[in-house]
Amino acid sequence: MRDSYGRRINYLRISVTDLCNLRCKYCMPEKGIEKIDYNEILKLEEIQSITESFVNLGVDKIRITGGEPLVRRNILKLIEDIGKLTKVRDFAMTTNGTLLKKYAKNLKSAGLNRLNISLDTLDKNKYAKITRNGRLSDVLEGIEEAKKVGLGPIKLNVVLMKDFNEDEIENFVNLTKDEEIDVRFIELMPIGALKYWSLNNYISNETVLKNIEGLVETETVDISSPARYYKLPGGKGRVGLINPISCKFCENCNRIRLTADGKIKPCLHSNDEIDLKTPLRQGKDINGLIGDIIKNKPKEHNLEDGDYINRNMTAIGG
Ligand code: SAM
Ligand code: SF4
């Protein structure tokens, strides 16, 4: 389905929980988030029903995210149900990777195609520090398992942070030399309760281009992707740069987000939300409502200077 600006909206990102087993400093307050009442969170059947409505309206690309999607109870059932929707041609998940060793095989057999895994450092002490006690070995083992069962090509999401991982850019880029892996450097976004932390620790993605010689920009394959891609000469994988704030890819935006508590965010960089949970629970036909939401998707980012996204990233999913 096309919106009123002629963009084909075919990508739904679903946050299945705002809970997480890590506490990344840029994403989650140290004490965690205020727990939302269980009833406020969409049930798996409700997520499935909303997903089917979107798919019937032309969505063929779905990403499961969170919080950490793998901590959601019975997540495999949802993956299995969405995996059965034949009109979905690309079915992916963004995860911190810590639980993949246990889940990768079942995710693959349930119908998931591929994974984005978030990893901001390759140093175990730094990893424990930024995630407030995560274990790097869990993620590395998870990545190996994901590759083994065929959940690739893997995309690694690396959030760049001042005085934290600038010195590791080269190591991350070198991962693309011999392997078909995409390493994507993401600029910190000031968002939710941690907006000031992000503003204080921000560094631009240009740092990557300044630090690494020889990166060659590749042809854009997917114009709706927020990433600009580069390659090392002879490299098998790609290096992506994602500038969520400065780079406006609005004219090619194809995405819509569903939050864990049943709100639609038609644009990440806007605080506008539309409640789907209430009409769904009232037994109303949500297809028409979803069609209207798509049609009315905003033309572009509409936050004024000095305004920030109110919701925490855990509720939106990236
Ligand atoms: N827990 C999963 C994970 O970490 O991959 C999925 C949810 S997480 C919110 C999705 C992505 O958002 C991750 O790649 C994370 O690094 C990124 N993210 C979180 N907070 C961010 C921020 N303030 N700025 C930029 N990226 C952020
Ligand atoms: Fe959890 Fe992902 Fe946020 Fe880290 S970035 S706290 S893993 S939701």
The binding-site residues of ligand 1, defined as CB within 6 angstroms of any ligand atom, are 20, 26-27, 65-66, 68, 94-96, 118, 157, 159, 186, 188-189, 191, 198, 313-314, 317-318
- Give Cα 27 to chain centroid, integer Å: 13
CA of 126 to the centre of ligand 2 (A): 15
Please report, for residues 11, 88, 151, 213, 217, the alpha-carbon distance to residue 289 in angstroms, rounded to integers and kept in the order given: 17, 21, 34, 50, 41
- Kindly give, in sequence order, each residue whose CB lies less than 8 Å from that of residue 184, ignoring residues fewer than 6 positions away: 116, 155, 156, 157, 158, 227, 239, 240, 241, 242
Q: What is the mean pLDDT of each run of 10 residues along the chain (318 residues)?
A: 93 96 93 85 98 97 97 98 98 98 98 98 98 97 98 96 97 97 95 89 95 92 87 96 78 94 90 94 95 91 72 74
The pLDDT of residue 211: 94
Domain presence at residue 5: no
CA of 87 to the centre of ligand 1 (A): 28
Domain presence at residue 2: no
- Number of helical (H) and strand (E) elements in the chain, helices listed first: 11, 12
In the β-sheet with 274-275, what is the strand arrangement from edge to edge? Answer: 216-217, 227-231, 238-242, 182-187, 155-160, 114-118, 90-95, 61-65, 11-15, 255-258, 263-265, 274-275
Task: Give the number of the ligand closest to the Cα of residue 24.
Answer: 2
Domain presence at residue 196: yes
Please report, for the domain that includes residue 239, its CATH number: 3.20.20.70
- Nearest-atom number in ligand 1 for the CA of 65 is 6
Domain presence at residue 106: yes
Tokens standing for residue 153: 């090509």
Task: Give the number of the ligand closest to the Cα of residue 193.
Answer: 1
- Nearest-atom number in ligand 1 for the CA of 66 is 7
- Nearest-atom number in ligand 1 for the CA of 188 is 24
- Nearest-atom number in ligand 2 for the CA of 159 is 5
Nearest to 172 by CA among 224, 240, 114: 240
Of the residues 27, 115, 187, 312, which should be mutated to test ligand 1's pocket, given the most ligand atoms within 8 Å of the CB? 27
Domain presence at residue 4: no
The pLDDT of residue 303: 67
**Does the pTM exceed 0.75?**
yes
CA of 24 to the centre of ligand 2 (A): 5
CA of 122 to the centre of ligand 1 (A): 17
Q: Hey, whose CA ends up nearest to atom 25 of ligand 1?
A: 188
The binding-site residues of ligand 2, defined as CB within 6 angstroms of any ligand atom, are 20, 22-24, 27-28, 66-68, 96, 118, 313-314
Task: Give the number of the ligand closest to the Cα of residue 201.
Answer: 1
Task: Give the number of the ligand closest to the Cα of residue 313.
Answer: 1
146: three-class secondary structure by DSSP: helix
Domain presence at residue 1: no
- If one counts the domains in the chain, the total is 1
The pLDDT of residue 269: 79
The pLDDT of residue 250: 85
- Nearest-atom number in ligand 2 for the CA of 313 is 3
Q: Hey, whose CA ends up nearest to atom 4 of ligand 2?
A: 24
Distance CA 247, CA 56 (A): 31
Structural domain of 19: 11-316
Q: Hey, whose CA ends up nearest to atom 26 of ligand 1?
A: 188
Where are any strands of DSSP class E within the chain?
A: 11-15, 61-65, 90-95, 114-118, 155-160, 182-187, 216-217, 227-231, 238-242, 255-258, 263-265, 274-275
The pLDDT of residue 247: 60
